[in-house]
């Protein structure tokens, strides 16, 4: 069965302030959706709310992955159901090596009694790290500790590759990446494109979309998706900025919280 | 059997000394200490009153049974040995050392490993010059009691320019709560020598109404250019009290690395101090602790800089559970004249229970202008963002917290020089954190 991810009327607030004001979006396996928009319009909130960050309260709406109610699930259950969020600011965790962490994550998904063998795991991890042009030494480093911005982002993509999720959300994966790192990350994502995997790419620059061609582009403003289109929409935004969208829709201030 | 001694003085201490056939100066030292013990006050650890602690049950001498081979050691002791065929091992069982092993190769290089009691007879000069000079018998009542009643003990001498590759192991074990258990470890590392010493303190006391008082001391003398790594893991029953004063005196360009797991289950006072006497000497201290039940702990690290261009770094990390209390003190003292000294310290406490208490007290005392010094201290709970991050990869909350807590202690655990002891340490952590 191909992946079906559906968001309906999603509203979310942080500390009592409503940020998402009703999001509707359907992503099927094989599709790449890009969400674009200026800063402060709710893009990252959408990513965090979908993953279940404890600070974001969902006040209305539904999210389903292959018919299963995602909002009912705890964060780890969402991950095991096939949701993956490459974070904008991944945590650094002292004392937990990258390898130990990844093995725990893989085994959590495989379940007890079905753990991956150490040899197989190391082989997989080494292979994927090579594809991402990561220094093998990063396997034994503490998770994200002392990693540069670009190294953290590659490490997020490494996790995505090893965990093989059904629905991938990339939250500003391109921020802080130089052009080489951007290419490597994009190649990693492209290698993972498949019929049973959907992508939601959040970015406010078009440059990532030069490497990963989206099927659909959505513009977010004021906590809503205000415009959708094909890849040509991203190109127009890159060339002309967001002002024409605001003008077309009569929006003065695109950020959340201003009517 | 006689009842445990609850008070003693000059005469009792002298009797001990004579029974061990000790030289006159040592008899006199025990006598003086015995006298001091009746006069001096208990130490006053910061924010931790000792009034309800049973610190006056000194026990009676209960020597263990000497054995000739590792295979003859009591099972409980054998189970604690991280590596059975090490080149150097010394074992104290209750009030005496019962086994010493040192490879012929090390003996040929002039390395000495004996009980301290034996060294008092066979290496009197070395002992007299160093013993109880870094940890004075008149510091307080506990140091006086120690100086009067110490038993068994370890004497390690590393001649100049000798490098010992494999760690020297010491296992100090008690299974009799009424025994006097007061080992003293004396390490002398001569110029340009290198040695790694691993000390384990453990007990198996079973059900008992007595309090075992482990009133111990460590003195390390690192002569110029030497490197001493001192690893210690303490894990006694909660009916024991752990008093561990550790001292290192560093000559020019010497270095000490303390790697300590203060993982005792009962009340404890530990004080780990490096005196950077020589120019260019350096000290690195890493201490971890886990508070469980209602244990009370005072954990102190100290660095005193006298020499120029001396460097110290002290890290203490504690995980506090249940209703435990830990007062963690870091004291960096830079004396006048210690120019270009650099003293850094960090205390971190992870609180796992609302009823636990963890205080971090960083103290900098600086009497010289041309120095660097810094401190960082934090007390907090498991970081919610870290838990979220791990969970977002499918790891359960429980496992995520376990990873974070173990990770918090890993910077010390991973530095323990013996693989077997490291694994043992992981088991202790699992048990204490479980």
Look-up of token digits 């038993």 = B151
In chain A, alpha helices (H): 43-51, 75-81, 98-110, 118-131, 149-163, 179-192, 231-240, 243-249
> In Å, what is the CA distance from B323 to each residue of B320, B356, B361, B423?
8, 4, 20, 27
Query: pLDDT tens across A153-170, in order?
Result: 999 999 999 999 999 999
pLDDT band of residue B133 (cuts 50, 70, 90) is: very high
Query: pLDDT tens across B400-425, in order?
Result: 999 999 999 998 888 888 888 888 89
The tokens describing B43, both together, are 């130490």
- B76 and B199 together in one domain: yes
Taking contacts as CB-CB distances below 8 angstroms, the residues of chain A near B408 are 94-95
The 10 Å Cβ neighbour count of residue A24 is 12
- B272 and B388 together in one domain: no
Asked if A160 is an interface residue toward chain B (Cβ–Cβ < 8 A), one would say no
Taking contacts as CB-CB distances below 8 angstroms, the residues of chain A near B346 are none
Is there a contact between B393 and A142 if contact means CB atoms under 8 Å apart? no
- Please give the mean pLDDT across all residues of chain A: 94
Domain A4-92+163-249, CATH number (from 3.30.365.10, 3.40.50.150, 3.40.50.300, 3.10.50.40): 3.40.50.300
Assigned domain for B318 exists: no
> What pLDDT does A20 receive?
97
The tokens describing B46, both together, are 């910061």
Q: Which of B383, B395, B406 sits opposite A105 (nearest CB)?
A: B395
The residue-averaged pLDDT of B104-113 equals 97
The answer to whether the complex's ipTM is over 0.90 is yes
The tokens describing B387, both together, are 């838990």
d(CA A136, CA A95): 18
d(CA A102, CA A70): 23
pLDDT band of residue B125 (cuts 50, 70, 90) is: very high
Is there a contact between B391 and A74 if contact means CB atoms under 8 Å apart? yes
Collapsed DSSP state (helix, strand, coil) of residue B421: helix
Is there a contact between B388 and A80 if contact means CB atoms under 8 Å apart? no
CA B260 to chain CA centroid, Å, is: 7
Q: Mind giving me the DSSP string for B124-144?
A: HHHHHHHTTTSS-TTSSHHHH
Task: Please identify, among B278, B304, B326, the residue that sits at the C-terminal boundary of a domain.
Answer: B278
Assigned domain for B238 exists: yes
CB A228 within 8 A of CB A216: yes
> What pLDDT does B19 receive?
84
pLDDT band of residue B8 (cuts 50, 70, 90) is: low
Helices B419-433 and B397-413: crossing angle in degrees, nearest 10, is 140
Q: What percent of chain B has pLDDT over 90?
A: 88
> What pLDDT does B82 receive?
76
Q: Which of B395, B408, B411 sits opposite A104 (nearest CB)?
A: B395
Query: pLDDT tens across A185-241, in order?
Result: 999 999 999 999 999 999 988 889 999 999 999 999 999 999 999 999 999 998 999
Task: Please identify, among B256, B278, B300, the residue that sits at the C-terminal boundary of a domain.
Answer: B278
Task: Please identify, among B260, B278, B296, the residue that sits at the C-terminal boundary of a domain.
Answer: B278
pLDDT band of residue B254 (cuts 50, 70, 90) is: very high
pLDDT top residue among A174 and B340: B340
To the nearest whole Å, the CA of A259 is away from the closest chain B CA by 31
CB contacts under 8 A, A 59-98 vs B, are 74-76, 78-80, 84-85, 87, 90-91, 93-96
Query: pLDDT tens across B188-218, in order?
Result: 999 999 999 999 999 999 999 999 999 999 9
**Start-to-end C-alpha separation, chain A:** 41
- Give this prediction's pTM: 0.89
Q: What percent of chain B has pLDDT over 70?
A: 97
> What pLDDT does A1 receive?
63
Is there a contact between A80 and B394 if contact means CB atoms under 8 Å apart? yes
Number of domains into which chain B is organized: 2
Count CB pairs under 8 A between chains A and B.
81
To the nearest whole Å, the CA of A104 is away from the closest chain B CA by 7
Q: Which of B392, B399, B409 sits opposite A51 (nearest CB)?
A: B392
> What pLDDT does A175 receive?
86
Is there a contact between A101 and B390 if contact means CB atoms under 8 Å apart? yes
The 10 Å Cβ neighbour count of residue B148 is 28
Residue B392 burial (10 A CB sphere; 0-12, 13-18, 19+): buried
Is there a contact between A79 and B385 if contact means CB atoms under 8 Å apart? no
Assigned domain for B338 exists: no
> What pLDDT does B11 receive?
78
Taking contacts as CB-CB distances below 8 angstroms, the residues of chain A near B394 are 76, 79-80, 105, 108-109, 163
CB B86 within 8 A of CB B97: no
> What pLDDT does A206 receive?
84
The 10 Å Cβ neighbour count of residue A73 is 17
Assigned domain for B109 exists: yes
pLDDT band of residue A257 (cuts 50, 70, 90) is: low
Assigned domain for B130 exists: yes
The residue-averaged pLDDT of B151-180 equals 96
B54 contact partners, CB below 8 Å, separation of at least 6: B211, B213, B241
* pLDDT reading at B367 higher than 70: yes
d(CA B374, CA B364): 8
Asked if A53 is an interface residue toward chain B (Cβ–Cβ < 8 A), one would say yes
Is there a contact between A53 and B388 if contact means CB atoms under 8 Å apart? yes
Assigned domain for B217 exists: yes
* Poorest-pLDDT segment among A160-169, B76-85, B100-109: B76-85
Domain boundaries, chain A: 4-92+163-249
- A43-62 burial, b if ≥16 CB within 10 A, otherwise e? bbbbbbbbbbbeebebeebe
A218 contact partners, CB below 8 Å, separation of at least 6: A25, A33, A34, A35, A36, A225, A227, A228
The residue-averaged pLDDT of B252-262 equals 97
pLDDT top residue among B254 and B57: B254
Domain that holds residue B23: 10-278
d(CA B3, CA B15): 17
Is there a contact between B383 and A159 if contact means CB atoms under 8 Å apart? no
Query: pLDDT tens across A84-125, in order?
Result: 999 999 999 999 999 999 999 999 999 999 999 999 999 999
CB B76 within 8 A of CB B93: no
Asked if A145 is an interface residue toward chain B (Cβ–Cβ < 8 A), one would say no
Taking contacts as CB-CB distances below 8 angstroms, the residues of chain B near A90 are 389
Assigned domain for B294 exists: no
> What pLDDT does B6 receive?
45
Helices A149-163 and A98-110: crossing angle in degrees, nearest 10, is 30
d(CA A46, CA A31): 18
> What pLDDT does B4 receive?
41
The residue-averaged pLDDT of B49-61 equals 91
Interface test with B, best of A56, A94, A115 (most B CBs within 10 A): A94
To the nearest whole Å, the CA of A239 is away from the closest chain B CA by 36
Assigned domain for B303 exists: no
């Amino acid at each position: 069965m191909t992946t079906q991810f559906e968001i309906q009327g999603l509203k979310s607030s942080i500390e009592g302030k409503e940020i998402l004001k009703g999001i509707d979006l359907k992503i099927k396996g094989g599709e790449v959706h890009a969400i674009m928009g200026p800063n402060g319009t709710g893009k990252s909130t959408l990513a965090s709310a979908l993953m279940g960050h404890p600070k974001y309260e969902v006040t209305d709406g539904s999210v389903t992955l292959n018919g299963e109610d995602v909002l009912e699930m705890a964060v780890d259950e969402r991950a095991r159901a096939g949701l993956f969020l490459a974070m904008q600011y991944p945590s650094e965790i002292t004392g937990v090596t990258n390898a130990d962490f990844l093995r725990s994550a893989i085994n959590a998904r495989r379940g007890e009694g079905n753990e991956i063998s150490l040899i197989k795991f190391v082989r997989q991890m080494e292979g994927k790290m090579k594809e991402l042009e990561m220094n093998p030494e990063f396997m034994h480093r503490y998770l994200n500790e002392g990693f540069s911005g670009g190294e953290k982002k590659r490490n997020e993509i490494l996790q995505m590759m090893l965990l093989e999720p059904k629905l991938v959300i990339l939250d500003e994966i391109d921020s802080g990446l130089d052009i080489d790192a951007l290419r490597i990350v994009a190649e990693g994502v492209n290698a993972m494109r498949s019929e049973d995997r959907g992508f939601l790419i959040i970015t406010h620059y078009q440059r990532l979309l030069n490497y990963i061609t989206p099927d659909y582009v959505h513009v977010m403003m004021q906590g809503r998706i205000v415009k959708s289109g094909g890849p040509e929409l991203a190109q127009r935004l890159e060339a002309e900025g967001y002002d024409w969208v605001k003008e077309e829709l009569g929006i003065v201030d695109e950020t959340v919280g201003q009517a | 059997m006689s009842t445990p001694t609850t008070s003693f003085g000059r005469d009792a201490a002298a009797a001990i000394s004579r029974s061990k056939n000790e030289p006159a100066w040592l008899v006199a030292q025990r006598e003086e200490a015995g006298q001091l013990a009746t006069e001096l006050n208990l130490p006053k650890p910061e924010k931790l009153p000792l009034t309800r602690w049973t610190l006056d049950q000194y026990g009676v001498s209960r020597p263990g049974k000497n054995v000739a081979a590792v295979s003859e050691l009591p099972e409980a002791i054998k189970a604690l040995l991280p590596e059975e065929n090490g080149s150097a091992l010394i074992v104290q069982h209750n009030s005496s050392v019962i086994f010493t092993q040192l490879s012929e190769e090390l003996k040929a290089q002039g390395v000495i490993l004996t009980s301290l009691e034996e060294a008092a007879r066979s290496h009197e000069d070395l002992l007299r010059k160093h013993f109880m000079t870094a940890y004075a018998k008149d510091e307080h009542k506990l140091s006086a009691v120690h100086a009067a009643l110490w038993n068994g003990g370890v004497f390690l001498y590393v001649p100049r320019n000798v490098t010992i590759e494999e760690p020297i192991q010491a296992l100090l074990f008690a299974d009799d709560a009424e025994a006097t258990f007061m080992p003293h470890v004396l390490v002398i590392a001569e110029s340009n020598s290198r040695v790694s010493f691993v000390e384990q303190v453990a007990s198996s006391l079973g059900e008992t109404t007595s309090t075992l008082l482990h009133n111990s001391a460590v003195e390390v003398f690192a002569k110029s250019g030497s490197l001493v790594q001192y690893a210690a893991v303490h894990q006694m029953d909660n009916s024991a009290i752990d008093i561990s004063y550790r001292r290192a005196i560093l000559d020019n360009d010497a270095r000490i690395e303390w790697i300590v797991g203060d993982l005792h289950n009962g009340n404890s006072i530990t004080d780990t101090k490096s005196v950077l006497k020589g120019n260019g000497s350096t000290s690195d201290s890493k201490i971890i602790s886990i508070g469980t039940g209602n244990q009370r702990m005072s954990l102190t690290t100290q660095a005193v800089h006298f020499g120029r261009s001396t460097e110290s770094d002290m890290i203490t990390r504690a995980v506090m559970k249940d209703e435990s209390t830990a007062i963690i003190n870091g004291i960096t003292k830079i004396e006048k004249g210690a120019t270009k000294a650099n003293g850094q310290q960090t205390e971190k406490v992870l609180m796992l229970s609302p009823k636990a208490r963890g205080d971090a007290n960083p103290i900098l005392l600086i009497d010289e202008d041309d120095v660097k010094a810094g401190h960082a201290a934090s007390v907090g709970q498991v970081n919610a963002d870290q838990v979220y991050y791990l969970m977002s990869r499918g790891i359960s909350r429980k496992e995520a917290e376990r990873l974070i807590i173990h990770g918090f202690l890993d910077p010390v655990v991973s530095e323990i020089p013996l693989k077997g002891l490291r694994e043992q340490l992981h088991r202790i952590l699992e048990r204490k954190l479980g």
